[in-house]
Structure 1
């Protein structure tokens, strides 16, 4: 079943206009519409599969965030990058927590590599993950039970120092309700970290409908820094930092070239040029990186 949103999830206005038609190149080959709110300029996939129907669009052995055994060159590149980024993520959350370990919730933890790294570094960790295969994999890797996202509402209020969503919020059907529950679980003064693709990056502008980070219909929302700030402000959160995820420009460009027709697709040098150009553009244009990590803080 599909569902049609009549209001913008960020500002609630109803003037929604078609922005782009994008094909699902990963699983279904179906084409989906991205609309843009004329009031706040937020972009989102509309109509979209409902929560009960979206599962089949994730049914791919190549979907590496749900399957540690996924093969192929692109997935091997992803795994190498993950090895280095896990350490950086753990170092970052420790720094944001005043240089000490604390309690961490990773919402949409996938196969649990980040959680396992944080636990090894001394954090008390909790993970929530909707995908059955990934959840089982994470349970084994982390060495403790990983629950379904429905458990979020049962967590004690104010119990986490850090809550992370690494490329997860764009997948969540109940966007505002989930944010409310996450904030409830966060300690006063705690940090909420949200990493998402940036629809205003140079690689998004360059690849347009071939931009792999649209990833319809799995990505329900397509954030810009302005729309993310407005969404978090609606929930009483202040964005304290906006950090670059510079490797994403190369990874997304590599995927995007595969989406192009054979006569237009480029090789490794094209990918390197696209990634480098995107990051250079971002450095000169207020941090408009391919993906951005937002660090928001709950008021004391």
Structure 2
């Protein structure tokens, strides 16, 4: 499949098989940073200008509480590292439950916003001095990492025994992916370097010595991704069709488990 960068460059990239159930973007750009240089890249800012942005932040605010609840169901209190922390809203939520929080955010603009909130954010994982985290979370981050295999090993080393590795990623076997095909917004090339199926991700993490203990569907993602995909398809967003496709995606996934995005909870053995 060939997909277009609809956000920044207009360039086209190939989607190739990497491992069973895992695809990769080809080629990897030499300078990834320039592909994030857009006012529309919403996860690196706090402001809401368009209706689309307002919807995103409204859902994001609701999901912060949901994510914290999911974690606290397994571990009531402890130390958490959020990798790809953005502007730090999730860490602030965990901090409100008296967790010891630390984050890594490579983007300077987003990191500076988080630091202004009083958070301990680093620019890279090598700057993380403390180890023995009870939880490491990556909310729509793993797909962005060039050194995928190396980072997974590093995350394992930073976790305590029975610690949780939480990974949320899009699922290319979802209905909305099949419907929108190359215009599916969650391909998001070249910012998304990796693309996962449920089986592909679960198998890869399990081989590192983790046990899958839970999956949580991110049901709002199907609607948001469909809305962006409509824009990619013909440059004129159709919110009614986007809502319908998001609804159908979740409806079908109720029986198949193939949601648009899924949060996986892995326990370190």
Instruction: State TM-score, norm by structure 2.
Output: 0.96
In structure 1, what is the equivalent of residue 93 of structure 2? 117
Residues 64-99 of structure 1, C-alpha deviations (whole Å, 9 max, x = no match): 1111125212111101111101111111111121xx
Aligned length: 269
Distance in 2 of aligned mates of 1:28 and 1:92: 37
Decide whether aligned partners of structure 1 residues 261 and 144 sit closer, same or farther in structure 2, where only a CA change above 3 A counts: closer
Counterpart check, 1:147 vs 2:147: no
Q: Aligned-pair distance for 1:31?
A: 0.5
Checking the alignment, whether the CA contact within 8 Å between 1:35 and 1:45 is kept in structure 2 is yes
SS of the residue 1:296 aligns to: strand
Show CA shifts across 1:239-293 (max 9, x none). Answer: 111210000000000000011115xx562221111011000111111x1000011
1:93 aligns with 2:63: no
Structure (1 or 2) with the greater helix fraction: 2
Separation of aligned partners in 2, 1:191 and 1:41: 23
Structure 1 unaligned spans of 5+? 1-19
Structure 2 CA distance for aligned equivalents of residues 171 and 102 of structure 1: 27
* Equivalent pair of 2:134/2:159 in contact (CA under 8 Å): yes
2:164 to 185, 188, 191: 191
3-state secondary structure, aligned to 2:106: coil
The structural deviation recorded for 1:106 is 0.3
Instruction: Please state how far the C-alpha of 1:36 moved relative to its aligned partner.
Output: 1.7
- 1:56 and 2:25 correspond: no
> Unaligned stretches of 5+ in structure 2?
none
Aligned-residue CA RMSD in angstroms?
1.4
Q: 1:26-73: per-residue Cα shift (whole Å, max 9, x none)?
A: 011101110124x624211011113xx100000011111111125212
Partners of 1:62 and 1:267 lie apart in 2 by: 19
Greater relative contact order structure (CA < 8 Å, 6+ sep): 2
CA distance in 2 between counterparts of 1:243 and 1:70 reads 27
Q: Secondary structure at the match of 1:49?
A: coil
